[in-house]
């Protein structure tokens, strides 16, 4: 059954501008619609807060914060926000419309993805979150539903409805905001969040893309929350044998239960992902996944929820189900979350270790000395993972593995923090001889570039200059200018001479030329109106539609932009012609009280004048009317009533 037919907003126009055409999705806080901006004639997504929440000031404030936060990001992998407003009880955001599907749709249809596809989706997600983190914001609700995949292959992060400044207290009295399957342990236990909670959620999303299932499941949200706190996310290869250990390392790094062990933000995790991809062969990246491993999909677990704090605050757990007191000694290490936790799972060993054991057994069966095999293999080791660790930490880890550091190189990096390792040669996981040497490349941080002065240059030349200097042309806005010619650059943001990271986007302000006052041509015939506007340096377009107006048929009924507006030379003014006044039947008010007569005529769309004369100064009854009742007259015209 098409539930959109029952949605009261479908078919309505919000704020006199946004025509709601269809419902796209319903979430815990808002409903998303496909809509048409009738002013700019473009399709967009309209996110409307549930009216029941619009009465809550904190939710409205969070909703508005999303618009402001995302508008500041201006990143190609973040869904753009165009407008925010209210219409009665409806609070809405007008956003970029992405024709396509969500990552959740892909996972439901295909299950586990090939490693290449998973990384192709994860990298732009981390780029978007990295921009948010560097701008000082945390998403707090990363999940497959909020990853949009366009029909053109673009990947964008949506729904910054829970976004919050990094330095803002994020605890919530009595509740935690988020989606249970992707909450980091510190969100559950303390209700606080920094960029590392987004890193944790991305690790869970990567696990889900590689295996087709979530790492933690349970019959209730409380059981899932319990596992996030007390159990590590298992390696994906435990469910999908043959997955490279580099992917296991990525998931383990991102989903470490201790926040300090995780990459500090999405940009740091992106550096690890790029390094891991570089170490994988084409065969490993394109390995076909098994069938979806999830036994089912609980949509309720994917919905952003307000989780009662009672499900997240630790409570004493008795030694057995019959006892209500703690074990002797009074130490309580476990937590009851609304339902008894499941029995601990046995540790899953890596398939690689089991394979080595099998090979050793086969060698023994065929009479080959297992001791010889062990001695030969013992001469080699694997380079441990050292990416995103400090130089000192990397050296300690290599020395502990029996390896030396041959050389330390340095390079600029936009994604890896200054002083931490970008790469190693040989790469992590490579098989080398004991006591061999490894070369480390350590980040110098982002390379900085001075913003050039491009004032007075054409937009094309200014963009080329920015690219030549290692910067990216950013958003272009246009302003009137008396001293800078139309089409030339007025200035940049940041200003010339400002130091920026290499690759940073620089906004450009381009001149619209000197402003032109738009003359009023309403009521004129089209030819004279066109001549007057063209004499003012403007172009003219005649709209195909015609409207009723007070002006005669064929005259200009309205113009856009209107009288008093300012436009740039060469801008277009659209003229809408009149169909003539709308004819309306005149009510019969003879014999009526003057006040009742006036109201009835005005309600019908007429203006009213009174004619009292000397005899009607003290009267209050209508004796006659200028247009007889039942006749038709132009709407908005004046009806004179004679009072006696």
Q: Are 353 and 402 in contact (CB under 8 A)?
A: no
Distance from C-alpha of 76 to C-alpha of 472, rounded to nearest angstrom: 12
Classify each residue of 29-65 as buried b or exposed e, where b means 16 or more C-beta atoms within 10 Å of its C-beta.
Answer: bbbbbbbbbeeeeeebbbbbbbeebbeeeebeebbbb
Contacts of 197 (CB under 8 A, 6+ apart): 138, 140, 183, 184, 186, 187, 259
Residue 250: HSE in the Cβ half-sphere, 13 Å Cα cutoff: 35
Distances (CA, A) of 19 to 5, 40, 51, 208, 521: 15, 12, 18, 37, 29
Q: Are 528 and 508 in contact (CB under 8 A)?
A: no
Q: Are 233 and 247 in contact (CB under 8 A)?
A: no
Question: What are the beta bridge partners of residue 632?
Answer: 585
Q: What is the β-pairing status of strands 30-37 and 42-49?
A: antiparallel
Q: How far is CA 180 from the centre of its chain?
A: 19
Q: Are 496 and 471 in contact (CB under 8 A)?
A: no
Q: Which residue do the tokens 């997504």 mark? A: 45
Q: Are 235 and 256 in contact (CB under 8 A)?
A: no
Q: Which residue do the tokens 């200009």 mark? A: 556
Distance from C-alpha of 541 to C-alpha of 493, rounded to nearest angstrom: 35
Contacts of 101 (CB under 8 A, 6+ apart): 148, 149
| Of 62, 20, 68, residue with least CA distance to 43 | 20
Contacts of 637 (CB under 8 A, 6+ apart): 581, 606, 607
Q: How far is CA 129 from the centre of its chain?
A: 9
Catalytic residues: 141
Tokens of 496: 């010339």
């Amino acid at each position: 059954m098409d539930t959109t037919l029952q949605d009261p907003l479908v078919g309505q126009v919000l704020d006199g501008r946004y025509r709601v055409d269809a419902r796209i999705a319903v979430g815990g806080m808002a409903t998303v619609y496909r809509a048409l901006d009738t002013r700019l004639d473009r399709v967009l997504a309209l996110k409307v807060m549930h009216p029941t929440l619009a009465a809550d000031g904190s939710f409205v404030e969070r909703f508005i914060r999303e618009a402001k936060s995302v508008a500041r990001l201006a990143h190609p992998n973040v869904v753009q926000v165009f407008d925010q407003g209210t219409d009665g009880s409806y609070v809405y955001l007008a956003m970029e419309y992405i024709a396509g599907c969500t990552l959740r749709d892909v996972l439901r249809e295909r299950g586990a993805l090939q490693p290449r596809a998973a990384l192709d989706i994860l990298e732009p997600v981390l780029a978007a979150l990295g921009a948010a983190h560097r701008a000082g914001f945390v998403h707090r609700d990363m999940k497959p539903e909020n990853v949009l995949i366009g029909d053109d292959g673009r990947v964008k992060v949506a729904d910054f409805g829970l976004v919050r400044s990094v330095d803002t207290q994020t605890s919530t009295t009595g509740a935690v905001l988020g989606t249970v399957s992707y909450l980091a342990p510190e969100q559950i236990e303390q209700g606080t969040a920094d960029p590392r909670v987004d890193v944790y959620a991305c690790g869970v999303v990567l696990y889900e893309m590689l295996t087709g299932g979530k790492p933690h499941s349970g019959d209730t949200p409380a059981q899932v929350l319990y596992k996030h706190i007390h159990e590590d996310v298992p390696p994906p290869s435990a469910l999908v044998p043959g997955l490279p250990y580099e992917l296991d390392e990525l998931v383990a790094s991102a989903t470490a239960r201790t926040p300090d062990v995780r990459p500090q933000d999405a940009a740091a995790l992106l550096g690890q992902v790029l390094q891991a991809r570089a170490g994988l062969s084409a065969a490993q990246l394109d390995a076909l996944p098994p069938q979806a491993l999830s036994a089912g999909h609980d949509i309720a677990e994917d919905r952003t929820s307000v989780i009662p704090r009672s499900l997240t605050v630790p409570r004493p757990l008795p030694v057995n189900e019959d006892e209500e007191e703690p074990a002797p000694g009074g130490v309580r290490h476990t937590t009851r979350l609304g339902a008894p936790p499941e029995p601990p799972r046995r540790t899953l060993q890596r398939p690689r270790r089991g394979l080595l054991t099998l090979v050793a057994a086969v060698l023994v069966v065929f009479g080959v000395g297992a001791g010889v095999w062990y001695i030969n293999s013992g001469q080699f080791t694997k380079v441990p993972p050292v990416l995103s660790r400090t130089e000192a930490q990397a050296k300690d880890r290599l020395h502990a593995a029996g390896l030396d550091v041959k050389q330390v190189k340095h390079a600029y990096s936009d994604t890896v923090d200054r002083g931490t390792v970008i790469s190693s040669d040989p790469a992590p996981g490579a098989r080398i001889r004991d006591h061999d040497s490894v070369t480390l490349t350590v980040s110098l941080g982002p390379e900085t570039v001075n913003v050039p002065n491009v004032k007075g240059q054409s937009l094309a030349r200014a963009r080329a200059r920015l690219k030549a200097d290692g910067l990216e042309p950013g958003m272009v806005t246009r302003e009137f200018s008396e001293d800078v010619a139309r089409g030339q650059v007025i200035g940049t943001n940041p200003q010339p001479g400002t130091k920026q990271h290499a690759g940073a986007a620089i906004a450009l302000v381009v001149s619209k030329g000197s402003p032109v006052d738009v003359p009023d041509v309403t009521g004129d015939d089209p030819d004279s109106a066109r001549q007057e506007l063209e004499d003012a340096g403007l172009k003219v377009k005649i709209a195909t539609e015609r409207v009723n107006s007070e002006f005669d048929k064929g005259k200009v009924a309205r113009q856009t932009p209107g009288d008093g507006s300012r436009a740039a030379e060469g801008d277009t003014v659209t003229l809408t012609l009149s169909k003539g006044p709308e004819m309306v039947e005149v009510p019969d008010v003879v014999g009526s009280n003057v006040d009742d007569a006036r109201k009835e005529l005005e309600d019908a769309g007429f203006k009213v004048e009174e004619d009292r004369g000397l005899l009607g100064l003290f009267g209050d009854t209508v004796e006659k009317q200028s247009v007889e009742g039942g006749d038709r007259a132009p709407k908005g015209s004046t009806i004179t009533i004679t009072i006696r």
